[in-house]
Amino acid sequence: MNYMPPAYVVKVGDSRWGRYVIRDGLLQYWTGEQRWSDKPGDATLFYRHADATATIDRLNLDAGIATKFTVTVVVTAHLLMFDELMDFLQEHSELSLRDPRTDEELRLEIIPDTLKAVDECGED
């Protein structure tokens, strides 16, 4: 198969001992041995979301490493409590932005642990 469905990170386990696995569009698990498996027990477990994302980058770039940047994004959410926003960001931590004119795509990863409240003036 020449086409590899997009891979994505999934949190497994409970909130105290959560780990991360990589799945693809065929719902297979990355084993870390240059292959995919249908069995959850074969999946490589990652302790950090960032480690799983780095592995996806290597898979997508044929073992290359993507250049990464950070940027500050301000989230405005009406009537949302801090814990609710943290839960939402943990569930939706990976985004893609595609330019329809050029078909270029950027992958965005939200790192929920960096979430902090700001006051009305935009200061910490």
- Is residue 123 pLDDT above 60, yes or no? no
pLDDT for 4-35, tens place per residue? 557 888 999 887 788 999 998 888 999 988 88
Which is higher by pLDDT, 68 or 45? 45
The predicted pLDDT at position 8 comes to: 86
- Is residue 3 pLDDT above 60, yes or no? no
Instruction: Measure the CA–CA gap between 95 and 92, rounded to whole angstroms.
Output: 7
* 3-state percent helix, strand, coil for the chain, nearest multiple of 5: 25, 20, 55
